[in-house]
Structure 1
């Protein structure tokens, strides 16, 4: 090997590259995702120490800038981390495939609105310029989450917006944010009776906890949850399981009727 190639490899030029190939890009919270990490050798032999895989998502927080103005900042959060501690040498022109499988966290936010979830792959390799890869996932509702959304739509509501908003550290969530789903009425018995209905999902084992807030008036979600879910007349909580799906539309109807 020429000194010139060694020098290029030392600064990352012509170094190994990584490409994560997923078996499926769509999954529900709690489901398994799998694929292979493809490592393609560069122009010089290089030692690969380990491979890091992270499932990440984005959320927003509000903060004050230096002039006291409120600004929105986008942050990322690691939902899960997976390490492949396999050490090997990738030779020039070689290609190595390493399979992986991992479970999505139950709290993985749905891909609605500006919410994004992705797998970030990183090679532990000295001085490489192209040692990382990002692959986006499409997170669909779980069976119980979809049942709640379907029931809302059957009652004349439409899901029109979703935000993952940062919250203070509190006991009811393991994450620094919650995902809020916002519904507006377009038809049905509740049309015109609510400006909007907002909900947050929390998976509790085989059950789903749903927090509803009706007719919220210009109050930030952070303030809503900072009250430690002290439910007042505009809020309600349902805990549902698979046995409730058939009657879910009636259950939600009765709950909304009590707050209309």
Structure 2
């Protein structure tokens, strides 16, 4: 092997390539992510120390800069990491396959609005630029989450926005953000009673905690003053399990009615 080829390999020219092939790219939080990692040798032999598989997502943080201007910054967060720790040499033109299997974190955000989740696969290469592959995962609601969403839609609400918003710290989550789903009324008994209803899902295995933030619509002078001083919002918690799935719509109706 010539010195020139080694140099080219170290800067990524003619180096090994990695490609993650997912068995399924549509999953719910907590479900198993499986697939095969394909590593193809380049023009030079290279030592691979390990393969890192990171499940990543994005979220936004809002803050004031030094000049007092509002800034929105998009950040990335590693939800989980899986490693193939087998050290190996990949020869020129050689192809190796590695199977992987691990569960998506229960706190993985749903792919809706600006929220994205992806698998980032990285070859850890000695004395060279690491090679990376990126594959998006479409995260769909769990059965419990979907039941809540369907219930709100049946009650006349429409999901109009969603985002993972950065938070300093919250006691109920280990993440630096929470995913908020924002609903507005378009029909039904609650149409015109609320500005919006925001929902936060917290998966707890066989239990789903749902936090509702209810923003009442201002009515008259008393309503105006409540809204001006942020007194028009209520936060309510609902626990959903397999045992109360059939009653979820009625429970949410009563919950909203009590805070109308």
Matched residue, 2:214: 214
SS at 1:150 equivalent: helix
Stretches of structure 2 lacking an aligned partner (at least 5 in a row): 218-231
Identify which range, 94-103 or 204-213, moves more after superposition.
204-213
Post-superposition shift, 1:15?
0.7
Q: Do residues 29 (structure 1) and 29 (structure 2) align?
A: yes
Post-superposition shift, 1:216?
6.3
1:64-83 deviation digits (Å, cap 9, x = unpaired): 21212110111111100011
Q: Do residues 54 (structure 1) and 46 (structure 2) align?
A: no
Provide the C-alpha distance between the structure 1 equivalents of 2:133 and 2:189, rounded to a whole number of angstroms.
49
- The 1:216/1:106 distance shift into structure 2, 3 A limit, reads farther
Post-superposition shift, 1:234?
1.7
Instruction: Report the TM-score when normalising by structure 1.
Output: 0.91
SS at 2:8 equivalent: helix
- The 1:85/1:213 distance shift into structure 2, 3 A limit, reads same
Matched residue, 2:41: 41
Post-superposition shift, 1:13?
1.4
- The 1:150/1:15 distance shift into structure 2, 3 A limit, reads same
Provide the C-alpha distance between the structure 1 equivalents of 2:168 and 2:27, rounded to a whole number of angstroms.
28
Q: Paired residues, what number?
A: 247
Provide the C-alpha distance between the structure 2 equivalents of 1:137 and 1:17, rounded to a whole number of angstroms.
21
Stretches of structure 1 lacking an aligned partner (at least 5 in a row): 218-231
Post-superposition shift, 1:129?
4.6
Map 1:93-242 to 2 at 5 A: 93-129=93-129, 131-215=131-215, 234-242=234-242
Matched residue, 1:69: 69
Provide the C-alpha distance between the structure 1 equivalents of 2:252 and 2:38, rounded to a whole number of angstroms.
47
Q: Which runs of 4+ in 1 moved over 4 A?
A: 127-130
Instruction: Report the TM-score when normalising by structure 2.
Output: 0.91
1:35-63 deviation digits (Å, cap 9, x = unpaired): 01110100011111100000010101112
Q: Do residues 243 (structure 1) and 237 (structure 2) align?
A: no
